[in-house]
Amino acid sequence: MYKRQPENIVMPILENVEVLAAGKEDLYGRKYEYSNNKNSADGFDMEFTIIGLNLTPKQIARVELSEGIGDMFAVLRHPEDTSEANFKYVGVELLFEKDEPEKIDLVMGADGKPVGQIIGDNIVDENGNIVGKIVNGKAVSLDGKPLGKIVENVRADDPMLTVAEVVDVVRDANGNIIGKIVDGKIIDENGNVVGEIKDGQAVSLTGEVIGTVDKGVALDINGNEVDLSSSSAANITSEVVRDADGNVIGTIVDGQVIDADGNVIGTVKDGKVVDMDGNVIADNISIAAETADANVVVRDADGNIIGTIVNGQVIDADGKVIGVVKDGKVVDMEGNVIADNITIKAETPARTADESERSQYEIEFVDFISGGTAKDGIVPVTKVRKE
């Protein structure tokens, strides 16, 4: 319910109050609760003139005070809509303000895809279904399981909101997506199998190498790649648990280890992942904050990069499979040790901003004074970029 004051100010006076009844009444007190208008948008005339509210004594006093100094209007909402107005009042100056994209709060899943938007204390998916709740500041499903990480103040036009899936893809030499990887097969945009992943390489149905694997690529509902470079919800870090060979066991959410399917598989105790019965799932683990686009890099004892881990195999800078990680060593396909005393760590690729994308604060300017340009004793100063 909102209050319109004589100074052309609109302010909320009541929020999230229970509506006990709603009806219509004419000037003579005659009620028409059972009348309806079949020609209205919803086939039912909802222009109520009477509403009964479940109010506290203080709320009743607020309504009485408001009725004496201005006009009131009410907006009926869905019972499960628990959102609130994020302003104290608005005035005529609002008419001259530029519309800015609204800020929303999201729940991001471990797969880098939005689970839903936070509305009130509900988590609502892209289809408008309530899929979870915010309980004690945590995002949980309707059956109480952790849903993901809360990301606040995301613009309503953030490209992350167009992400339908996050998948591994194969790119050609020009960087174009040939297809996405599903169960080891390369599927093109028409749903045809055009190749497979064999020994860590993307090969055609006849065995020729057709491209390189790119992991964790965001696609929209039409299968087009989503550019997340401007997204404030991208590159959100998660605590990732890996085994000694660099394989992902799961992510830590609220102290529990969650696998790729969102299932709770255990907890971390004394440097080990143990299930709910105390059985060891994995020891000699590593836990690190990682972003969705991080590469798992293998380095030797001197810090030199040996390769990156893709689908459990070590890939060198040329995209060739050189081996696997076993017992803390990189070994080739014949079992020969390529490197021992290695380190495995997820590293976010460095992103070099194009000059056109650089912030104005990152570009240096100097004052330039051109001779003979003074007029009426005033010398113009021009800002020029420092090269």
Same domain, yes or no: 197 and 296: no
Same domain, yes or no: 147 and 170: no
Tell me the mean pLDDT in the region 285-289: 77
Higher pLDDT, 89 or 192: 192
Burial class (CB in 10 A: 0-12, 13-18, 19+), 43: exposed
Under the banding of pLDDT at 50, 70 and 90, the label for residue 384 is very low
Does 195 score more than 90 pLDDT? yes
pLDDT of residue 46: 53
Same domain, yes or no: 134 and 41: no
7-62 pLDDT, tens digit each: 678 888 888 888 887 776 655 666 655 555 555 544 445 566 778 889 999 999 98
Residue 12 lies in domain: 2-92
**Is 259 within the bounds of a domain?**
yes
> Which residues sit opposite 51 in a β-bridge?
22
Same domain, yes or no: 121 and 60: no
Structure tokens at 142: 């309707």
pLDDT of residue 185: 92
Q: Which residues contact 26 (CB under 8 A, 6 or more apart)?
A: 32
**Is 118 within the bounds of a domain?**
yes
Task: Report helix, strand or coil for 64.
Answer: helix
pLDDT of residue 89: 80
Give pTM, 2 decimals.
0.49
**Is 321 within the bounds of a domain?**
yes
**Is 225 within the bounds of a domain?**
no
Does 144 score more than 80 pLDDT? yes
**Is 36 within the bounds of a domain?**
yes
Tell me the mean pLDDT in the region 155-161: 87
**Contact status, residue 40 vs residue 10, Cβ threshold 8 Å:** no
Q: Which of 92, 120, 140 is the last residue of a domain?
A: 92
Same domain, yes or no: 77 and 24: yes
Q: Which of 16-30, 86-100, 183-197, 291-305 has the highest mean pLDDT?
A: 183-197
Question: Which amino acid would we find at residue 363?
Answer: I
**Is 47 within the bounds of a domain?**
yes
pLDDT of residue 29: 64
| Apex 298 CA angle, 236 and 163, nearest 5 | 30
Same domain, yes or no: 208 and 271: no
Tell me the mean pLDDT in the region 127-148: 87
Same domain, yes or no: 170 and 158: no
pLDDT of residue 6: 45
Same domain, yes or no: 245 and 343: yes
pLDDT of residue 39: 55
Same domain, yes or no: 155 and 172: no
pLDDT of residue 205: 92
pLDDT of residue 25: 66
Same domain, yes or no: 261 and 326: yes
Work out the percent of the chain whose per-residue pLDDT is above 70: 77
Same domain, yes or no: 154 and 204: no
Domain count, the chain: 4
**Is 215 within the bounds of a domain?**
yes
Does 368 score more than 80 pLDDT? no
377: left (phi over 0), alpha (psi -120 to 50) or beta: left
Residue 351 CB: number of other CB atoms within 10 A?
A: 9
Under the banding of pLDDT at 50, 70 and 90, the label for residue 196 is very high
pLDDT of residue 93: 75
**Is 353 within the bounds of a domain?**
no
Distance CA 333, CA 326 (A): 11
Q: Which of 332, 347, 362 is the last residue of a domain?
A: 347
Under the banding of pLDDT at 50, 70 and 90, the label for residue 352 is very low
Does 181 score more than 60 pLDDT? yes
Under the banding of pLDDT at 50, 70 and 90, the label for residue 123 is very high
* Mean pLDDT (the chain, rounded): 77
pLDDT of residue 68: 83
Same domain, yes or no: 147 and 184: no
